[in-house]
Chain A
Amino acid sequence: MPPPEPLLEVRGLRCGYGRIEAVKGVDLEVREGEIAALVGANGAGKTTLLRAISGVLPIRAGSIRFAGEPIEGLRPHERVAHGIVQVPEGRQLFAPLSVEDNLRLGAFRRGRERTEANLARVFALFPQLAERRDVPAGALSGGQQQMCAIGRALMAGPRLLLLDEPSMGLAPTLVEQILATVARLRGEGVTVLLVEQNAVAALSLADRGWVLETGRIAHAGSGRALLDDPAVKAAYLGL
């Protein structure tokens, strides 16, 4: 039997800002039910790549297919409707709006009943958010903000969750908690593409991974293989 078609398939992708081309021809595939990790140094083009997949940054060349269909021509809100949902770097919450409003807006494209069910699910996943549902999201602690950002993305009912640096700026125990949540989401059938500077943590969790270096993929393989690769170890894992 041939392997199933990848959920996300990126081919020859180029994009950037102004004269700077931050992503210089990237190929990658993510299969349904996987956790895939994209690691690399600051400025390697990881965030740029996620922005292109979400459609908030136009691409210059290449193709992006999702569930077998080309999506380069779709606007960001249409990609969300297809199930591609991103938790952006730095949380990007709607700071003056309440936690609950942030979550409900996550389900902007969903029906009312689904919204209530998803809200209950997110509050079960992050009980701290339920306690602080009426607080402006900007007043949450860093860890709670990250939970709120992930919760907001889950409200959309994603098929593919793009997570950009979820551990950034968090205390080690919180990082563990967030990554445990990511593992748990895979158990619930959500496919995850995780971008991290914390390469060891990300690759330990991942079924497959890539190391991005100045806009190009330098190493690819299973999470385990990358962790064991001497070149990757020396350059990125500090081992």
Chain B
Amino acid sequence: MVELVQLLFAGLTTGAVYALVALGFTLIFQASEVVNFAQGEFVMLGGMVTVFAMKAGLPLPLAALLAVLVAVATGLLLHRLAIEPAKGATVVTLIIVTIGASILIRGLAQIVFDKQFHALPAFTGDEPIRLLGAAILPQSLWVLGGAAAIVLGLWLFMERTLLGKAVRATAANRLAAELVGIDTRVVLALAFAVSAAIGAVGGILVTPITLTSYAVGTLLALKGFAAAMLGGIGNPVGAVVGGLLLGLLESFAAGWISSTYKDGVAFLVILLVLFALPQGLLGRRAVERV
């Protein structure tokens, strides 16, 4: 029982980060059909910029804010310099463009920062909280709470504001969006900015638990992609469900089988989903009559 609770919380914590990465994938994919494999680099930038800004003397909240701004600027530049000029390219070309961008961002991070692993202090101490006999890190609650707040905020934005509806309208029908006067280029830039911010916040929240380095983005992008596929790519609820599920699968695989295979779980999930359930758990069930 104790072990179960322990694994459950560990799984939900990493799962929440995968969910945020998957949500970033979903947001950009919906607005543009671009699968942005540079998504993991936003998480890396969130952690790394915070670490180095704190080393330079900034308090945590300011360092975190700076990190989010750097990630957003990177996201906007990625859109402006790499995605926008490739307008009209095939999906595969765009995927290669984003992979190239992620390699570039990683390389720059290695030069600007360093190759070491870095930690952040836990936001509210390291004293574990006892729950049903298991020891839960307070930082886990920050990750879960932060992820929940982001999901809720994003949902409110998409469902309740005209700008959010314009994003959904662009996702549903780009031509029609242009014909009603929505500047779809701005919508896409907005999708990149918001995705970058979400990824960066995830990176800041989780760094006190998992450590960070210039290279953490690659694996996170792949796992976030696996989570998005599992949930059904293009579906925000699916992204969250897929992320949490993948985190739990990893956690239980590590706890009950062997931690050696932990990272393999995500790839097994991608393969199984592609073979057996290509539309994902909550894949598109479009309401449409032609």
Contact = CB atoms under 8 A, between A and B. Distances in A.
Interface of A: 54-56, 75-77, 80-81, 85-86, 88, 92-97, 101, 104-106, 108-109, 136, 138-142, 145, 152-153, 155-156
Contact of A156 (B169, B173, B180): B180
B33 to A, nearest CB: 16
A136 B169 CA distance: 12
Nearest to A51: B175
Contacts of B172: 94-97
28 contacts: A56-B175, A76-B178, A76-B181, A77-B178, A77-B182, A80-B179, A80-B180, A85-B181, A88-B176, A88-B179, A92-B179, A93-B173, A93-B176, A94-B168, A94-B176, A95-B173, A95-B288, A97-B168, A97-B172, A104-B165, A105-B162, A105-B165, A105-B169, A105-B177, A108-B180, A138-B289, A139-B287, A156-B180
Interface residues of B, number: 20
Nearest to B284: A96
A139 B175 contact: no
Contacts of A153: 179-180
A96 B180 contact: no
Contacts of B180: 80, 85, 105-106, 108, 152-153, 155-156
B30 to A, nearest CB: 11
Given A88-B175, A93-B173, A105-B165, A156 B181 contact: yes
A77 B287 contact: no
A106 B169 CA distance: 11
Given A104-B162, A138-B287, A140-B289, A94 B179 contact: no
Contact of A75 (B165, B175, B176, B183): B183
Greatest chain B CB density within 10 A among A54, A88, A93, A108 is at A108
B286 interface: yes
B188 interface: no
Contacts of A54: 178-179
B166 interface: yes
Nearest to A138: B288
Nearest to A155: B180
Contacts of B175: 56, 88, 92
A96 B162 CA distance: 15
A77 B168 contact: no
A108 B166 contact: yes
B282 to A, nearest CB: 14
